[in-house]
Structures are given as structure tokens and as C-alpha cells.
Amino acid sequence: MAPGTDAGAGVRYNLHMMHRRVLLFSVLALTLTLTLPLPLGARQTAATAAPEYGPAAGTLVIIGGAMSNNFGVPQKFIELAGGPDKKFVIVPTNGGNKTADGTPREYQAETVLAPWKTRGLTNVVMLHTWDPKVADTAEFVAPLLDADAVWFDGGRQWNGVDSYMGTRALREFWNVLNRGGVIAGSSAGATIQGDYLVRGDTSGPNVMMTEEPTHQRGFAFLKQSAIDQHINTRNRWDDLIPVIQKYPQYLGIGLSEDTAIVVTGDTFEVIGRWKVTVHDNTHAYQPWEKPYDLLNVGDVYDMKARKIVKYGNGANPARGRGRGGQR
């Protein structure tokens, strides 16, 4: 202590310097915490937080074809979008890009939108092009920038792939989901939402796995999946079996007519009229069983856990109802 200073002042000075050092070390520690990369384990936890199958945001409604107004499927789509006054974009492209003579096909908005207007939609537009160069323009995608929901019509799913794969339009479809919106589609509009594009061969719908390199992948809104439709009236119950045998990394989903799955994250619920099949090569089946699970309306399936987590009739999932493809 300097001569002539009192002891109390010296103590106060030492305490002041000690508090400054503590504050300096605290700020330094906080700075290091904020700037240093996360430990490997923390990075892995953050990376696995995103869904493995469904989109990270938004909802998918995937319908097996022949949709009516009688079993609540279109009504659920409209409800998930926020109601009939939200903005809906209807994409008829799967219905065909060109006529038999190669002329680009034209769609009449009045005809395409009529079923949706009868369901009460007040803000609904049509979006279509056969040309991926057009689909890559700002002008074309403008209706998607503030859309709440997108609907893909049925037809042949490779038409939609030809028009939109790799374009700005596809990125804006994804952005509808990223904003918490809804993407839905029926028949071909269901299959195109999957990762692997079943029945993508231009020669006809009976070819399950095409050799055409540009028609093997869908838009993958539902990742690691292969989606089939019309499994009941067209007797396609078993058609996904060879697909999943060849590509066991995929989860196969078969949809009956007027029946849908509503996908949020890694789970989906069956709604509508009848049955859904789930083809999963990670499960062992008895020799007398079909190699897929059979789900009914109200059942909830966890795609990541590969199991039914809730039955629509209130039964206990541990009892195993739905195994073996019994219809």
C-alpha cells in the first residue's frame, strides 16, 4: 500500500480489481462458448433432430386415387391449409404434357379449378407448364410465393417430373412446406411425392421399376419412400413387394382409393375410406403372411420406428394387429 493511504481504501481497491478480473474471465468464457464449434455428440444430436421421412415443416396429404367428398379427405386438406379462404395452387400437369401428336397440352383453368370451387375455395389458381425452362422462371413461380397449399392432380407421374424436377418451381413447392403449408395429391399426385418413382415408365403404368434414368425419382417430399396407389380396385396389393426387395432402403406405402395418409414429421395417420399397406423389409414375416403391414383408418404409424403406435379402434399396438397383409 502506498504511504499515506488508509487501509480501507486499499481493501476497496483490491476488491475492485478482483471483480474486474472475474468479469473479464466471464466475458471471455462466454465468447468462447458462442464461437467454438459444438462437440461432436451435440452436433450429431442436432443433426438427428430433423425428421428422417417427412418434411421438417408443413404437412403432406397423400391419397390413393378416386377421391370423393364422402370420406373427409379433401375436407382435411382444406382444413390443414387453414380453411377455404387460404391460397391454393392446383397443378394438373400429371394429366399430360403433350398430346399424341406432340403438341403441348393446354389446360382450361375453369375446368381444372371447378371441383375445388365447389368445395368452397375462394382463392385458388392453376399452375402448369410442359417446359422446365418456363418452370425455372420467376414469373411462373410467382403464384407459389405466398401459397398456403399445393395440390397435384392424377394422371402419369412422370409428366410432373419432366416439367418440374430440378427447377425453381420444385424449390418453391418445398418452400410452401417450409412455411408450414400443405402439399397434397391423389393417384399420380401421390406417387410423385415419394422418393422412388414407382410406375414411372413412359410405356405404361404396369412397369413398376423403369429403366428410364430420368423417371426413377420423385420429388421426395416423403423421403426414403416408394408410394403406390389404386391398390384395391386395380388389385395392386402385392405390387410393391419386388420394389422393396430390390431397394430395401425404401419404405413402401400402398394406398387404397379415397384413402390417404396425413404426414407430419416421421408419423402419419390413415384417413378416408379403407386400407393402407406398409412394406418394410426390416421386419420378419411368417411364411404364411404377406410381407407388409395393413393399416386401417385412424391408425397412426411411426416411419422411423417402423411400427404402428396407435390404432384407430383403440386397440393396444403391442398386440400386433395389422401384420401379414390380411385384408
CATH number at 214 reads 3.40.50.880
Q: Tell whether the model's pLDDT for residue 83 goes beyond 80.
A: yes
Residue 126 lies in a domain: yes
Unique residue bearing C-alpha cell 476497496: 12
pLDDT tens readout for residues 246-298: 999 999 999 999 999 999 999 999 999 999 999 999 888 898 999 999 999 99
Do 188 and 140 belong together in one domain?
Answer: yes
Residue 181's pLDDT is: 98
pLDDT averaged over every residue in the chain: 88
Angle ∠(44,45,46) on CA atoms, nearest 5: 90
Residue 317's pLDDT is: 78
Q: Tell whether the model's pLDDT for residue 312 goes beyond 50.
A: yes
Q: Tell whether the model's pLDDT for residue 93 goes beyond 80.
A: yes
Mean pLDDT of the 169-193 span? 98
Mean pLDDT of the 170-186 span? 98
Q: Tell whether the model's pLDDT for residue 39 goes beyond 70.
A: no
Mean pLDDT of the 129-155 span? 98
Unique residue bearing C-alpha cell 422411423: 304
Do 14 and 145 belong together in one domain?
Answer: no
Higher pLDDT, 33 or 238: 238
Q: Tell whether the model's pLDDT for residue 24 goes beyond 50.
A: no
CA proximity to 254, closest of 310, 165, 190, 298: 190
* One-character DSSP codes across 145-175: TT-SEEEE--S-HHHHHHHHTTSHHHHHHHH
Do 113 and 19 belong together in one domain?
Answer: no
H or E segment and range at residue 295 = strand 293-295
Contact (CB, 8 A) for 323 and 301:
no
Residue 88's pLDDT is: 99
Residue 232 lies in a domain: yes
Residue 284's pLDDT is: 86
Residue 326's pLDDT is: 53
Contact (CB, 8 A) for 219 and 170:
yes
Q: Quick one: what percent of the chain has pLDDT higher than 70?
A: 82
Residue 127's pLDDT is: 98
The angle, 0 to 180 degrees and rounded to 10, between the axes of the packed helices 157-164 and 168-178 is: 100
H or E segment and range at residue 260 = strand 259-264
H or E segment and range at residue 182 = strand 182-186
pLDDT band of residue 235 (cuts 50, 70, 90) is very high
Q: Tell whether the model's pLDDT for residue 89 goes beyond 50.
A: yes
Residue 176 lies in a domain: yes
Higher pLDDT, 321 or 293: 293
User: Which pairs with CB-CB distance under 8 Å and at least 24 residues apart come from 135-140?
Assistant: 135/163, 135/164, 135/167, 135/168, 135/169, 135/170, 136/167, 136/168, 136/169, 137/168, 138/168, 140/168, 140/169
Mean pLDDT of the 288-315 span? 94
Do 256 and 174 belong together in one domain?
Answer: yes
Residue 175 lies in a domain: yes
Tally of domains in the chain? 2
Do 280 and 170 belong together in one domain?
Answer: yes
Distance of CA 279 to the CA centre of its chain: 18
Higher pLDDT, 9 or 86: 86
Q: pTM of the entire structure?
A: 0.84
Strands, sheet with 124-126, edge to edge from the N-terminal-most edge strand: 124-126, 88-91, 149-152, 182-186, 59-63, 259-264, 267-272, 300-302, 307-310
Structural domain including 321 reads 59-325
Do 64 and 26 belong together in one domain?
Answer: no
Q: Tell whether the model's pLDDT for residue 63 goes beyond 70.
A: yes
Mean pLDDT of the 41-53 span? 64
Do 135 and 273 belong together in one domain?
Answer: yes
pLDDT band of residue 237 (cuts 50, 70, 90) is very high
Q: Tell whether the model's pLDDT for residue 38 goes beyond 70.
A: no
Q: Tell whether the model's pLDDT for residue 134 goes beyond 80.
A: yes
Do 239 and 305 belong together in one domain?
Answer: yes
Q: Give 185's contacts (C-beta < 8 A, 6+ positions apart).
A: 61, 62, 63, 94, 151, 152, 153, 154, 192, 193
Residue 66 lies in a domain: yes
Do 138 and 31 belong together in one domain?
Answer: no
Do 294 and 166 belong together in one domain?
Answer: yes
Do 235 and 309 belong together in one domain?
Answer: yes
Do 131 and 260 belong together in one domain?
Answer: yes
- The neighbouring-strand residues paired with 104 are 98
Mean pLDDT of the 56-64 span? 98
Residue 107 lies in a domain: yes
Q: How far apart are the first and last CA of the chain?
A: 94
* β-strand pairing of 225-228 with 251-255: parallel
Residue 43 lies in a domain: no
CA proximity to 155, closest of 65, 22, 20, 290: 65
Residue 235 lies in a domain: yes
- The neighbouring-strand residues paired with 295 are 276
